[in-house]
Amino acid sequence: MAQKIGRNDPCWCNSGRKYKVCHKAFDEKIQRIREEGHIVPEQGMIKTAEQIAGIRESAKINIAVLDYVAGQIKAGMSTEEIDRMVYEKTVRMGGVPATLHYQGFPKSACTSRNEQVCHGIPSEQDVLKDGDIINVDISTRLNGYYSDSSRMFCIGSVSPEKERLVRVAKECVEVGLKEVKPWGFLGDMGQAVHDHAFANGYTVVREIGGHGVGLEFHEDPWVSYNSTRGTEMLMAPGMVFTIEPMINMGRPEIYIDDANGWTAYTQDGLPSAQWEVQVLVTEDGYEILSY
């Protein structure tokens, strides 16, 4: 991971400090763990203080937009109306919806209802009904920095079965967060999420996971929630990634809508729920950047 850099040279993180008192010991620790056979982050995955500050500013918009949606969402509203709210609020605050035109995605938000797992495309024809559950997933770009999070919303009177699914999906994120510790492994977090979902009678989608985010919309590492402790990538201070397990009421299998090429559905037609947070690994734990 370490560049060829002298002890007294300026550190690669642009802190202005000499390498020997800044990231030298950090790089050496990463290298030792690599030599033990573990997957470790490359230097470019470690965000600098300046980059983290930029991501935090982007995240302020991301959180504010989801707060705005939370105050407006209701039965009778189309998912296209949600998309317009996301676009208008994001732009008013100086940001750009990162999903808009991303690899051809046509909207500013993903709105995934009931058996839709993720990447639901907003539409005037898709109208929220009493008893629906819906995930609203938004990503924000500000001055070249990205933030990403999503929340579940229960529309009107939701069945106890759906309410429990939404609650346990949020708990999965919370138990995962407890395992985000510097010098631990992503598998520690992944297994905690997996075990909590299965203990409650649910399954976790395998094909779609979390990801690094900050300087790009999607970066390494890919984050699995069907992993085991002590495996996957090392979590080092300065890493930024999402925790966003997709929890299915039934089986874990999914399929992609052939008509639009984006929306994922549960194979068995049962509901799915997901919450997403963007996390920074710190020297003593974690910081939630967006939620």
Which amino acid is it at 270? L
Tokens describing residue 137: 């997933």
Which amino acid is it at 203? T
For residue 85, the model assigns a pLDDT of 98
Tokens describing residue 163: 């309410």
For residue 186, the model assigns a pLDDT of 98
In the chain, where are the structural domains located? 19-290
For residue 2, the model assigns a pLDDT of 44
Distance (Å, rounded) from C-alpha 104 to C-alpha 106?
Answer: 6
pTM over 0.85: yes
Statement: 19-290 belongs to CATH 3.90.230.10: yes
Tokens describing residue 284: 């003593």
For residue 4, the model assigns a pLDDT of 79
Divide the 291 residues of the chain into consecutive groups of 10 and give the mean pLDDT of each group. Answer: 78 94 96 97 96 98 98 98 98 98 97 98 98 98 98 98 98 98 98 98 98 98 97 98 98 97 98 98 98 98
State the number of CA atoms in the 13 A half-sphere of 106 facing the CB. Answer: 9
For residue 1, the model assigns a pLDDT of 43
For residue 179, the model assigns a pLDDT of 98
